[in-house]
Amino acid sequence: MAEDAALASPLARARAWLADYRPGLRARELGVVQSVGDGIAWVAGLPSAAMDELLRFEDGSLGQVFQLSDARLGAVLLHQTGGLAAGTRAALGGRVLDLPVGDGLLGRVVDPLGRPLDGDSAPQANQRRPLEAPAPPMIERDFVTEPLLTGSKIIDTMLPIGRGQRQLIIGDEGTGRSALALDAVLNQKDSGVRCVYVLIGQKRSAVVSTLELLREHGALAYTTVVVGEASALPGLQYLAPFAGCTLAEAWMQAGHDTLVVYDDLSAHARAYRELSLLLRRPPGREAYPGDIFYLHARLLERATHLAADAGGGSMTALPIVETQQGEIAAYIPTNLISITDGQIYLDAELFAGGFRPAIDIALSVSRIGGKAQHPRIREAAGSIKLEYLQFQELELFTRFGARLEPAMQARLARGRVLRELLKQERLAPVSAAAQLAWLLAFKHQLLDAVPPAEVAGTLARLLAGLGGSGLDLGSPEADWLAWLRAVLASVS
């Protein structure tokens, strides 16, 4: 009986198919691979192919149309089997590349095609979105007014980042660019911000280190990691930031605040240059194709703060770019500086001198500025950046052995205290209330008498008792000052 039931079902399906079958001509295009190599394939015989359309090869490989010409098309390979060779048949996929999105991706590690890399099953998602999408129009955007706190004393006070902002992190290799971005992701715990961390062209050891750090601090619960590692096909490295942007964009349009980190866009530009040269596109400056600016502009312009009518969510972008020997005016860095809303420049000399994070305040800027700060912090930090820059100039002048009057010596001493206050180790985020505490202490000269070598310890003891003080950003300044004086008196 069981065997009869098993046979009946396929037979019933076959009869139903035959009942609905109607004979007729069916046209289907089949192409032939002419050559394969270095992550690309040249295909002939698909005249109706469109840009960015998927290609399926009979051996199971997958590609994307990247170059169109009269005689043949060029495709970047997204999945390549050992059987792909000249003569392999190819067919149009009939759609552009899309990606599963939604809460099922939280805590997962995926490649740019949405395939799991963490050893678990495929992510559960009931929605898919194309990787390429137009940026939200101006009418759907709103002003950036809400802060995205990174936990960094320098950034949150002098270079504030707002939800919906695009802030570039720039510097030489080994200056702590990725560490700064990771600290910002870790600081979003319990803030409601969903994070996407995109690793582009990174070694597998760096990928594993990043995942272990996120897992150790419980950040994977609200983070999706998209990996296009160095050993992956160039096409996957090229698509990685667009995949991360698509994931964050879906949450943004659902009304959530998101943070996406692109680590890093220098490797992304190199992957795009490699594909373009292999497909014989005309090279431009530094052999990059002429549309390299548009490549990053169409990616970063998708980060914004949506108006309430459009969902009210936000996508904050932290693209990372590498400089060579501090050359901030190189081609790719200057392109990204002109696209983003400000930059955080990490200096190799400051890093070597022990100033961490090694942010060069003179070359860093946030074009959103105080609009994305809490009013109390904005007021307390009003002149701190100017004061620190003036101290740096004054300290440089004193290296020539000039004698200074007492007022100048006092400014130097105060500047050295500020420099020590701004130092911060990794994985040591500072809350908004703690930011206000040290800003008020410095503003009202409560720390001027502390020797620079003791500033870090004094600040640590000061902030240790903040939790039991009952103070917050809404407390009157007089209450803050009374508490600060009492704690500093007990510390001394």
If 0-12 CB within 10 Å is exposed, 13-18 middle and 19+ buried, where does residue 216 land? exposed
Q: Which two tokens stand for residue 149?
A: 């706190």
Neighbours of 333 (CB within 10 A): 22
Q: For residue 187, what are the contacts with CB-CB under 8 A and spacing of at least 6?
A: 149, 150, 151, 429
CB 265 within 8 A of CB 300: no
CB 222 within 8 A of CB 188: yes
Angle of helix 455-464 relative to helix 406-422, nearest 10 degrees, comes to 60
Rounded distance, CA 36 to CA 80, Å?
A: 10
Rounded distance, CA 141 to CA 314, Å?
A: 9
Residue 475 is inside which H or E element, if any? none
Q: Is 367 a catalytic residue?
A: yes
Amino acid identity for residue 405 in this structure: E
> CA Rg, the chain, in Å?
27
CB 42 within 8 A of CB 33: yes
Choosing from 115, 204, 285, 367, which is the catalytic residue?
A: 367
Rounded distance, CA 372 to CA 166, Å?
A: 13
Beta strands 223-228; 109-110: pairing state: parallel
* Distance set, CA 408 to CA 25, 152, 391, 412, 461 (Å): 91, 29, 10, 6, 29
Give Dmax over CA atoms of the chain in angstroms: 105
Neighbours of 492 (CB within 10 A): 9
The string of DSSP letters for 342-377 reads EEEEEPHHHHHTT-SS-B-GGG-EESSGGGGS-HHH
Residue 341: name the closest of 310, 311, 363, 316 by CA: 316
Catalytic residue numbers? 367
